[in-house]
Amino acid sequence: MKVAFFSTKSYDKEYFTKFNTDNVHELTFFEVPLNEQTAVLTIGFEAICVFVNDIINRETIKIIKQNGISLIALRCAGFNNVDLKAAHENQIKVVRVPAYSPESVAEHAAALILTLNRKTHKAYNRVREGNFSIENLTGFNLFAKTVGVIGTGLIGKAFCKIMLGFGCKVLAYDIKESSDLVAKGVVYKSLDDILNESDILSLHCPLTPETAHVIDANAISKMKDGVMIINTSRGALIQAKDAIEGLKNGKIGYLGIDVYEQEADLFFQDLSESVILDDVIARLISFPNVLITGHLGFFTKEAVEEIATITLNNLTSFENNRELVNEVKS
Protein backbone atom coordinates (compact mmCIF):
# COMPACT_ATOMS: atom_id res chain seq x y z
CA MET A 1 0.00 0.00 0.00
CA LYS A 2 1.03 3.58 -0.49
CA VAL A 3 1.24 4.90 3.04
CA ALA A 4 1.81 8.47 4.20
CA PHE A 5 3.45 8.69 7.62
CA PHE A 6 2.97 11.84 9.68
CA SER A 7 4.93 13.26 12.65
CA THR A 8 7.86 11.06 11.72
CA LYS A 9 11.22 11.13 13.44
CA SER A 10 14.46 9.39 12.49
CA TYR A 11 13.59 6.33 14.58
CA ASP A 12 10.25 5.87 12.78
CA LYS A 13 12.03 5.83 9.42
CA GLU A 14 14.71 3.50 10.74
CA TYR A 15 12.42 0.87 12.27
CA PHE A 16 9.62 0.96 9.68
CA THR A 17 12.10 0.73 6.80
CA LYS A 18 13.92 -2.14 8.53
CA PHE A 19 10.75 -4.19 9.14
CA ASN A 20 9.08 -3.38 5.80
CA THR A 21 10.66 -6.57 4.43
CA ASP A 22 10.93 -6.73 0.61
CA ASN A 23 9.36 -3.25 0.51
CA VAL A 24 5.91 -4.77 0.76
CA HIS A 25 4.50 -1.29 1.32
CA GLU A 26 5.52 2.03 -0.21
CA LEU A 27 6.26 4.26 2.76
CA THR A 28 6.56 8.05 2.58
CA PHE A 29 7.66 9.86 5.71
CA PHE A 30 6.43 13.38 6.41
CA GLU A 31 7.83 15.16 9.43
CA VAL A 32 4.84 17.47 9.79
CA PRO A 33 1.92 16.41 11.99
CA LEU A 34 -1.39 15.54 10.36
CA ASN A 35 -4.13 18.11 10.83
CA GLU A 36 -6.61 20.04 8.69
CA GLN A 37 -3.80 22.12 7.17
CA THR A 38 -1.48 19.24 6.26
CA ALA A 39 -4.18 16.77 5.19
CA VAL A 40 -3.62 17.92 1.59
CA LEU A 41 -0.41 15.85 1.63
CA THR A 42 -2.45 12.64 1.58
CA ILE A 43 -3.26 12.97 -2.14
CA GLY A 44 -2.10 9.84 -3.96
CA PHE A 45 -1.93 7.63 -0.87
CA GLU A 46 -4.24 4.80 0.25
CA ALA A 47 -3.46 4.81 3.95
CA ILE A 48 -2.04 7.10 6.60
CA CYS A 49 0.08 6.19 9.59
CA VAL A 50 -0.25 8.59 12.53
CA PHE A 51 0.95 9.06 16.10
CA VAL A 52 -0.36 10.44 19.40
CA ASN A 53 -0.48 14.15 18.58
CA ASP A 54 -1.78 14.06 15.03
CA ILE A 55 -5.27 15.56 14.91
CA ILE A 56 -7.66 13.35 13.00
CA ASN A 57 -10.89 15.24 13.61
CA ARG A 58 -13.98 15.37 11.40
CA GLU A 59 -12.49 18.09 9.18
CA THR A 60 -9.23 16.16 8.66
CA ILE A 61 -11.22 13.03 7.91
CA LYS A 62 -13.33 14.85 5.32
CA ILE A 63 -10.17 15.93 3.47
CA ILE A 64 -8.37 12.59 3.61
CA LYS A 65 -11.52 10.81 2.42
CA GLN A 66 -11.66 13.11 -0.62
CA ASN A 67 -7.98 12.29 -1.22
CA GLY A 68 -8.70 8.54 -1.31
CA ILE A 69 -7.55 7.40 2.12
CA SER A 70 -9.33 4.27 3.30
CA LEU A 71 -7.24 3.30 6.35
CA ILE A 72 -5.94 5.19 9.39
CA ALA A 73 -3.17 3.17 11.02
CA LEU A 74 -2.27 4.47 14.47
CA ARG A 75 1.25 3.51 15.49
CA CYS A 76 0.27 3.77 19.16
CA ALA A 77 -2.24 2.28 21.60
CA GLY A 78 -4.35 5.35 22.47
CA PHE A 79 -6.90 6.57 19.89
CA ASN A 80 -8.42 9.62 21.63
CA ASN A 81 -7.10 11.85 18.80
CA VAL A 82 -9.27 10.19 16.13
CA ASP A 83 -12.93 11.07 15.56
CA LEU A 84 -14.04 7.45 15.25
CA LYS A 85 -17.63 8.33 14.42
CA ALA A 86 -16.54 10.54 11.52
CA ALA A 87 -14.13 7.84 10.29
CA HIS A 88 -16.91 5.24 10.38
CA GLU A 89 -19.36 7.54 8.56
CA ASN A 90 -16.73 8.02 5.84
CA GLN A 91 -16.02 4.26 5.56
CA ILE A 92 -12.45 4.74 6.75
CA LYS A 93 -11.16 1.91 8.92
CA VAL A 94 -9.01 2.64 11.97
CA VAL A 95 -6.38 0.24 13.31
CA ARG A 96 -3.95 0.64 16.17
CA VAL A 97 -1.25 -1.21 18.11
CA PRO A 98 -3.17 -2.23 21.23
CA ALA A 99 -0.24 -3.86 22.96
CA TYR A 100 3.37 -3.54 21.99
CA SER A 101 5.22 -3.60 25.24
CA PRO A 102 3.15 -2.66 28.27
CA GLU A 103 6.31 -3.09 30.33
CA SER A 104 7.97 -0.18 28.50
CA VAL A 105 5.43 2.32 29.87
CA ALA A 106 5.04 0.60 33.25
CA GLU A 107 8.82 0.63 33.75
CA HIS A 108 8.94 4.31 32.78
CA ALA A 109 6.32 5.08 35.45
CA ALA A 110 8.55 3.23 37.93
CA ALA A 111 11.54 5.27 36.69
CA LEU A 112 9.66 8.51 37.35
CA ILE A 113 8.80 7.34 40.87
CA LEU A 114 12.36 6.32 41.70
CA THR A 115 13.88 9.47 40.21
CA LEU A 116 11.50 11.80 42.02
CA ASN A 117 11.90 9.88 45.26
CA ARG A 118 15.63 9.15 45.32
CA LYS A 119 16.55 12.33 43.40
CA THR A 120 19.06 10.54 41.21
CA HIS A 121 18.78 13.32 38.60
CA LYS A 122 19.91 15.88 41.17
CA ALA A 123 22.65 13.64 42.59
CA TYR A 124 23.99 13.02 39.06
CA ASN A 125 24.28 16.74 38.37
CA ARG A 126 25.83 17.47 41.76
CA VAL A 127 28.54 14.84 41.36
CA ARG A 128 29.39 16.11 37.87
CA GLU A 129 30.00 19.52 39.46
CA GLY A 130 32.26 17.96 42.09
CA ASN A 131 29.54 18.34 44.76
CA PHE A 132 29.30 15.15 46.80
CA SER A 133 26.95 16.60 49.43
CA ILE A 134 23.76 14.64 50.08
CA GLU A 135 21.98 17.53 51.83
CA ASN A 136 18.29 17.73 50.79
CA LEU A 137 18.41 14.48 48.85
CA THR A 138 16.42 12.49 51.43
CA GLY A 139 14.02 10.00 49.85
CA PHE A 140 11.55 7.51 51.29
CA ASN A 141 11.33 3.72 51.18
CA LEU A 142 8.87 2.35 48.64
CA PHE A 143 8.57 -0.80 50.75
CA ALA A 144 5.20 -0.90 52.57
CA LYS A 145 3.91 2.29 50.92
CA THR A 146 0.43 2.33 49.43
CA VAL A 147 0.31 2.70 45.66
CA GLY A 148 -3.00 3.49 43.95
CA VAL A 149 -3.38 2.49 40.32
CA ILE A 150 -6.17 3.95 38.19
CA GLY A 151 -6.70 1.68 35.18
CA THR A 152 -5.45 -1.89 35.35
CA GLY A 153 -5.34 -2.84 31.67
CA LEU A 154 -2.14 -4.05 30.06
CA ILE A 155 0.11 -1.24 31.31
CA GLY A 156 -1.60 -0.90 34.71
CA LYS A 157 -1.20 -4.64 35.27
CA ALA A 158 2.52 -4.56 34.45
CA PHE A 159 2.88 -1.55 36.76
CA CYS A 160 1.03 -3.28 39.64
CA LYS A 161 3.40 -6.24 39.40
CA ILE A 162 6.46 -3.95 39.57
CA MET A 163 5.09 -2.19 42.65
CA LEU A 164 4.23 -5.51 44.32
CA GLY A 165 7.86 -6.44 43.72
CA PHE A 166 8.93 -3.43 45.78
CA GLY A 167 6.78 -4.68 48.65
CA CYS A 168 4.13 -1.99 48.22
CA LYS A 169 0.49 -2.34 49.14
CA VAL A 170 -1.24 -1.97 45.76
CA LEU A 171 -4.79 -0.61 45.49
CA ALA A 172 -6.56 -0.34 42.16
CA TYR A 173 -9.57 1.27 40.56
CA ASP A 174 -10.93 0.15 37.20
CA ILE A 175 -14.35 -0.32 35.66
CA LYS A 176 -13.29 -3.96 35.10
CA GLU A 177 -11.46 -5.87 37.82
CA SER A 178 -8.64 -8.29 37.03
CA SER A 179 -8.89 -11.59 38.93
CA ASP A 180 -5.23 -12.23 38.07
CA LEU A 181 -4.22 -9.06 39.95
CA VAL A 182 -6.53 -9.86 42.87
CA ALA A 183 -4.83 -13.28 43.13
CA LYS A 184 -1.48 -11.49 43.28
CA GLY A 185 -2.62 -9.31 46.18
CA VAL A 186 -3.95 -6.17 44.51
CA VAL A 187 -7.04 -4.79 46.26
CA TYR A 188 -9.74 -3.10 44.16
CA LYS A 189 -11.41 -0.13 45.84
CA SER A 190 -13.57 2.84 44.90
CA LEU A 191 -11.87 5.84 43.25
CA ASP A 192 -12.41 7.90 46.41
CA ASP A 193 -10.76 5.25 48.58
CA ILE A 194 -7.77 5.12 46.22
CA LEU A 195 -7.45 8.91 46.34
CA ASN A 196 -7.73 8.90 50.16
CA GLU A 197 -5.32 6.10 50.92
CA SER A 198 -2.49 6.26 48.37
CA ASP A 199 1.02 7.56 49.00
CA ILE A 200 1.67 7.24 45.27
CA LEU A 201 -1.01 7.44 42.55
CA SER A 202 -0.32 6.25 39.02
CA LEU A 203 -2.69 6.80 36.11
CA HIS A 204 -3.07 4.06 33.49
CA CYS A 205 -6.61 4.50 32.18
CA PRO A 206 -7.34 5.83 28.68
CA LEU A 207 -8.48 9.38 28.06
CA THR A 208 -12.27 9.31 27.62
CA PRO A 209 -15.04 11.79 28.46
CA GLU A 210 -15.37 9.94 31.82
CA THR A 211 -11.66 10.14 32.71
CA ALA A 212 -10.88 13.66 31.42
CA HIS A 213 -9.53 15.73 34.36
CA VAL A 214 -10.10 12.83 36.73
CA ILE A 215 -7.36 14.47 38.76
CA ASP A 216 -8.73 17.97 39.46
CA ALA A 217 -8.92 20.20 42.54
CA ASN A 218 -11.71 18.09 44.04
CA ALA A 219 -9.77 14.83 43.60
CA ILE A 220 -6.54 16.42 44.87
CA SER A 221 -8.34 17.64 48.02
CA LYS A 222 -9.11 14.00 48.90
CA MET A 223 -5.48 12.88 48.68
CA LYS A 224 -2.92 12.42 51.42
CA ASP A 225 -0.68 15.40 52.12
CA GLY A 226 2.55 15.08 50.14
CA VAL A 227 1.10 12.53 47.69
CA MET A 228 3.13 11.56 44.61
CA ILE A 229 1.16 11.62 41.34
CA ILE A 230 2.48 9.87 38.22
CA ASN A 231 0.88 10.20 34.80
CA THR A 232 2.22 8.21 31.85
CA SER A 233 -1.19 7.82 30.20
CA ARG A 234 -2.65 10.97 28.63
CA GLY A 235 -2.12 14.59 29.70
CA ALA A 236 -5.78 15.56 29.99
CA LEU A 237 -6.34 13.08 32.82
CA ILE A 238 -4.90 15.84 35.01
CA GLN A 239 -6.20 19.40 35.23
CA ALA A 240 -2.71 20.94 35.20
CA LYS A 241 -3.76 24.26 36.75
CA ASP A 242 -5.20 22.41 39.76
CA ALA A 243 -2.02 20.36 40.05
CA ILE A 244 -0.02 23.60 40.15
CA GLU A 245 -2.18 24.84 43.06
CA GLY A 246 -1.65 21.49 44.81
CA LEU A 247 2.11 21.79 44.34
CA LYS A 248 2.14 25.39 45.58
CA ASN A 249 0.26 24.57 48.77
CA GLY A 250 2.23 21.35 49.36
CA LYS A 251 -0.70 18.96 49.03
CA ILE A 252 1.12 17.34 46.12
CA GLY A 253 4.61 16.36 47.22
CA TYR A 254 5.80 15.09 43.84
CA LEU A 255 4.50 15.08 40.31
CA GLY A 256 5.94 12.93 37.51
CA ILE A 257 4.42 13.29 34.06
CA ASP A 258 5.31 11.83 30.69
CA VAL A 259 2.26 13.42 29.08
CA TYR A 260 0.70 16.87 29.15
CA GLU A 261 -2.67 18.09 27.94
CA GLN A 262 -1.17 20.69 25.57
CA GLU A 263 1.82 18.54 24.60
CA ALA A 264 1.06 18.68 20.86
CA ASP A 265 2.68 22.14 20.64
CA LEU A 266 5.78 21.12 22.58
CA PHE A 267 6.67 17.47 22.71
CA PHE A 268 8.88 15.65 20.21
CA GLN A 269 10.52 18.97 19.21
CA ASP A 270 13.80 20.63 20.20
CA LEU A 271 12.65 24.00 21.55
CA SER A 272 15.85 24.69 23.47
CA GLU A 273 16.46 27.92 21.55
CA SER A 274 12.81 29.07 21.71
CA VAL A 275 10.78 30.94 24.30
CA ILE A 276 8.18 28.60 25.78
CA LEU A 277 4.85 30.39 25.44
CA ASP A 278 2.86 27.86 27.48
CA ASP A 279 2.87 29.36 31.00
CA VAL A 280 1.35 26.26 32.57
CA ILE A 281 4.17 23.92 31.55
CA ALA A 282 6.72 26.66 32.27
CA ARG A 283 5.36 26.84 35.85
CA LEU A 284 5.37 23.06 36.15
CA ILE A 285 8.99 22.89 34.98
CA SER A 286 9.95 25.43 37.66
CA PHE A 287 9.03 23.19 40.62
CA PRO A 288 11.91 21.23 42.18
CA ASN A 289 9.57 18.29 42.87
CA VAL A 290 8.16 17.95 39.35
CA LEU A 291 9.72 15.65 36.79
CA ILE A 292 8.60 15.90 33.17
CA THR A 293 9.59 13.63 30.32
CA GLY A 294 8.40 14.28 26.76
CA HIS A 295 6.19 11.24 26.06
CA LEU A 296 8.91 8.64 25.99
CA GLY A 297 7.21 5.94 28.05
CA PHE A 298 6.78 3.80 24.93
CA PHE A 299 10.33 4.40 23.75
CA THR A 300 12.27 1.20 24.21
CA LYS A 301 13.92 -0.83 21.47
CA GLU A 302 11.53 -3.72 22.07
CA ALA A 303 8.45 -1.51 21.94
CA VAL A 304 9.46 0.37 18.79
CA GLU A 305 10.18 -2.93 17.01
CA GLU A 306 6.77 -4.25 18.03
CA ILE A 307 5.04 -1.03 16.93
CA ALA A 308 6.63 -1.23 13.47
CA THR A 309 5.91 -4.96 13.03
CA ILE A 310 2.28 -4.79 14.19
CA THR A 311 1.52 -1.62 12.19
CA LEU A 312 2.94 -3.16 9.01
CA ASN A 313 0.89 -6.33 9.66
CA ASN A 314 -2.23 -4.16 10.13
CA LEU A 315 -1.57 -2.56 6.72
CA THR A 316 -1.04 -5.95 5.06
CA SER A 317 -4.23 -7.38 6.59
CA PHE A 318 -6.22 -4.43 5.27
CA GLU A 319 -4.68 -4.68 1.80
CA ASN A 320 -5.45 -8.41 1.63
CA ASN A 321 -9.01 -8.05 2.99
CA ARG A 322 -8.09 -10.16 6.00
CA GLU A 323 -9.75 -9.72 9.40
CA LEU A 324 -8.53 -6.54 11.11
CA VAL A 325 -7.72 -7.90 14.54
CA ASN A 326 -6.53 -4.51 15.75
CA GLU A 327 -9.44 -2.49 14.41
CA VAL A 328 -10.79 0.32 16.60
CA LYS A 329 -14.53 0.42 16.15
CA SER A 330 -16.61 3.55 16.81
**Site of interaction with ligand NAD (CB under 6 A):** 77-78, 99, 102, 105, 150-156, 173-176, 204-208, 210-211, 232-234, 258-259, 295, 297-298
Among 75, 96, 204, 234, which one carries the catalytic annotation? 234
DSSP readout, 255-276? Answer: EEES--TTGGGTTTS--TTS--
Active site residue 295: yes
**In the complex, what is the shortest distance from the CB of residue 29 to ligand NAD, in angstroms, rounded to a whole number?**
20
Comparing CB distances to ligand NAD, the nearer of 77 and 290 is: 77
Closest approach, Cβ 93 to ligand NAD, in A, equals 19
Residue nearest to ligand NAD (CB): 153
DSSP state of 115: H
Min. distance of Cβ 192 from ligand NAD in angstroms? 13
Output the CA angle 209-213-216, nearest 5 degrees: 150
In three-state secondary structure terms, 324 is: coil
- Residue (256 or 297) nearer to ligand NAD, CB: 297
Distance, in Å, from the CA atom of 115 to the CA atom of 122, rounded to the nearest integer, reads 9
Task: Choose between 99 and 324: whose C-beta lies nearer to ligand NAD.
Answer: 99
Q: Which of 46, 197, 261, 263 is catalytic?
A: 263
CA–chain centroid gap for 86, Å, is: 24
Q: Which of the residues 25, 75, 204, 295 is marked catalytic?
A: 295
Whether the Cβ atoms of residue 180 and residue 157 lie closer than 8 Å to each other: yes
Q: In Å, how far from its chain's centre is CA 278? A: 20
Q: What is the distance between the alpha carbons of residues 328 and 98, in angstroms, rounded to a whole number?
A: 9
31 is a catalytic site residue: no
CB of 79 to ligand NAD, least distance (A): 8
Other Cβ atoms less than 10 A from the Cβ of 166: the count is: 16
Q: Among residues 15 and 45, whose Cβ is nearest to ligand NAD?
A: 15
- List active site positions: 234, 263, 295
